[in-house]
Structures are given as C-alpha cells and as structure tokens.
Amino acid sequence: MSKTALVTGAASGLGLELSLLLAKDNYNLVLIDIDATNLENAKSEILKINDIEIISIVKNLCDPGVSEVIFNEIKGMPIDVLVNNAGFGLFGKFADTEWRREMDMLQLHVITSTHLTKLVLTGMLERNSGKILNVSSLAGFQPGPLMSIYYASKAYMLSFSQAISNELKGTGVTATVLCPGPTKTSFQEVVSGECSKNKITFNMACADKVAAYGYKAMIKGKEVAVPGIFNKFLSGLPRLLTRKRATSVVRKIQEKNREIPNVNQPVKA
C-alpha cells in the first residue's frame, strides 16, 4: 500500500533533501513552498530518479489559516509522515527589527506548524501509525540576543515536539525534533539580509548530511536529534553555565558572525 509524506519548505535546502530521502523510500509526496519556480524544479529533480506521485502546492505558510486550506486541498488524504521544515530567521536588535516579518515568523514557526500537526495527527492516531519530524534548531536550547524571536520560536518547537512525543508513546505514532546547527542552505543568506554580512564559516554542515541524520532519527522514532558532536556540546551549554551566562555567550557569537544592521536599514528576509 502506498504511503504519503507532506513536507513544508520543500523547494530547497533541508526540505528538498528530506523529500529526496522520502522519495527513495517510495513515499508519495505533498510538497509545499512559497517559491513556485524552485518547487517545480524540486519536483522535477525528484521525479528524475524516483517513480512516485507528487502533489506540489504553492502557499505562503505565514498566512493565517493556511494549514486548514492545505488540509482541505488534499481532501483528507492520509498522511503517513509530516515534516514541518519551513522557516526563516531575522537578525538584529528586537527594538529595531521589522514587526511584520517577526509576526510572519511566529505565525509560521508556531501557529502554522502546530495547526498542521494537529490536523494530520488525528488520522495518524486513527490508523495507529505515523511519523512527525519537526525542524527546530540548536537555537532552541537557549535565548538568542540579536535573533530573539527566531530563538524563542525554535524553543517553542523543541518543547512542543518533546511534549507530544511523550503523549504519543504506545500509539504507533512518533514525533521527532531535529535541531541542527549552522547548515549550508539559503537560510543564512536570508538571515543576514542586505545589511548584515554573514561571516559564519566554522561548524557549517551540509544539508544532505543533516537531512540524513534527521531522517534516520525519525525512522527510529527518536525524540530529539542533534547532528554533530560539537552541536551536542552546545545544546548542553545552558546546563553547564547559568542561563544568563549562556545568553551572553550566544550574544558574543552573534556579534562575531554577523554585522549588526543600521537601525535605519531594517533587515529583509
């Protein structure tokens, strides 16, 4: 019997790499992204090497109510795997950054992902089978000055995923949260924007390797997946230091890796 996976942010980066892994395991795919051109390119790339069915849906996942719109479009199609991957970052002091983009970020990272999970989870529980992979970040383990909303929203995704993972024990459904460190995707360019030069070169992982690590953890039903030994160490930093000290360390890292934008030139993402 054919299985279906739904992947958000599927046009590039981790979303595309995870989609390729799912296709290799013969999952039919529902691919969602705001970027119509790259989504079509991703669909073509996947179909070149896999004989599966793909539905591509172009949607802005920052729009209120979009999860229900998507769910209605696929007409109650049974989803065996849900990958909440779509996301973006914004760099700068909270007092100076653009509220519209921060509101979009919260809508995407928190509301859309959570609602989509609730809509899909009902069917999984009825079938006593299913897997959820939520993409959080290493940022989710501590507060992040200069990227305050991003860090906070990823902390939400980490906490939410761990909570429902506990609730789902014994149901046949599992929830895994992937928490990568810096990864070579378009995310870094979006975060840095036009006014903030990105200087991150250390501990930068390849998207295909991060995706493979997260995919393997999802298949095993692992609760939290942090790829990389150094990232595992960093994820435990708040337990080794006071929360205040860990926050100061993150601030220094942010200042070293990116130039703080001029307050009169808001970062675009």
Tokens of 120: 């899909």
Query: Using CA atoms, how far apart are residues 211 and 255, in angstroms rounded to an integer?
Result: 28
Catalytic site residues? Answer: 150
Residue holding tokens 């808001």? 266
Query: Using CA atoms, how far apart are residues 169 and 173, in angstroms rounded to an integer?
Result: 7
What is the full DSSP assignment across 138-190? GGGGS--TTSHHHHHHHHHHHHHHHHHHHHTTTTTEEEEEE---SEESTHHHH
Tokens of 242: 């006071």
Tokens of 37: 């051109």
Query: Using CA atoms, how far apart are residues 102 and 93, in angstroms rounded to an integer?
Result: 12
- What are the residues facing 134 on neighbouring strands? 84, 177
- What are the residues facing 131 on neighbouring strands? 81, 174
